[in-house]
Amino acid sequence: MLQKVNVKNKKAYFEYEILSNFKAGIILLGSEIKSIRNNHVNLSDSYCIVIDNEVFIRNLHIGEYKHASHFNHEPKRERKLLLNKQEINKISNKAKDKGITIIPLRLFINNKNIAKLEIALARGKKIYDKRESIKAKDIERDLQRDIK
């Protein structure tokens, strides 16, 4: 039985205000997809950039596959994302605005066993917004406790 892969960037929802989401494919090597299927992925410090109408993800850590011998991949290499031209244009135009960044939210494997990355256009939260997020989370937790 295959284990479902669904790696989330939990820090992104706390640090950023999400404006819009996109799903993108990733160009991977054989040892990288095997590591992803073993859940050896870390999204926490990664971000996306647009270079010459192509979107790349940087600092996405995919751990080395231990059975790949000397054909192993570099864990933090730059990987190209697969998006439509319209999506790339929309992302690049919005990313030029001040304070907007492109961050990965989730890495998953879809029904066709293809690795996909959910990315978002996001704006960084201020300190008081983060406090409000913590307060709302605490209230929700208390309500759930009272219901039980």
Report residue 39 as tokens: 């859940």
**Average pLDDT for 28-43:** 87
Residue 134 pLDDT > 60, yes or no? yes
- Rounded to whole angstroms, how far apart are CA atoms 36 and 109? 9
- DSSP letter string, 6-61: EEE-HHHHHHEEEEEEEEEEE---HHHHHHHHTT-EE-TT-EEEEETTEEEEES-E
Q: What would the pLDDT profile of 95-125 be if each residue is shown by its tens digit? A: 988 889 999 999 999 889 899 999 999 998 8
Whether domain 6-147 has CATH 2.40.280.10: the reply is yes
Confidence class of residue 33 from pLDDT cuts 50, 70 and 90?
A: confident
Q: State yes or no: pLDDT of 4 exceeds 50.
A: yes
Q: What's the gap between Cα 59 and its chain centre?
A: 11
pLDDT at 22: 95
Share of the chain above pLDDT 90, in %: 47
Q: Residue range 40-53: average pLDDT? A: 91
Q: What is the per-residue pLDDT for 3?
A: 63
What is the SS3 assignment for 67? coil
Band (1; pLDDT cuts 50, 70, 90): very low
What lies within 8 Å, CB to CB, of 107 at 6+ separation is 5, 6, 7, 36, 41, 43, 60, 115, 116, 117, 118
State pLDDT tens for residues 52-91. Answer: 999 999 999 888 888 777 777 777 889 999 999 999 999 9
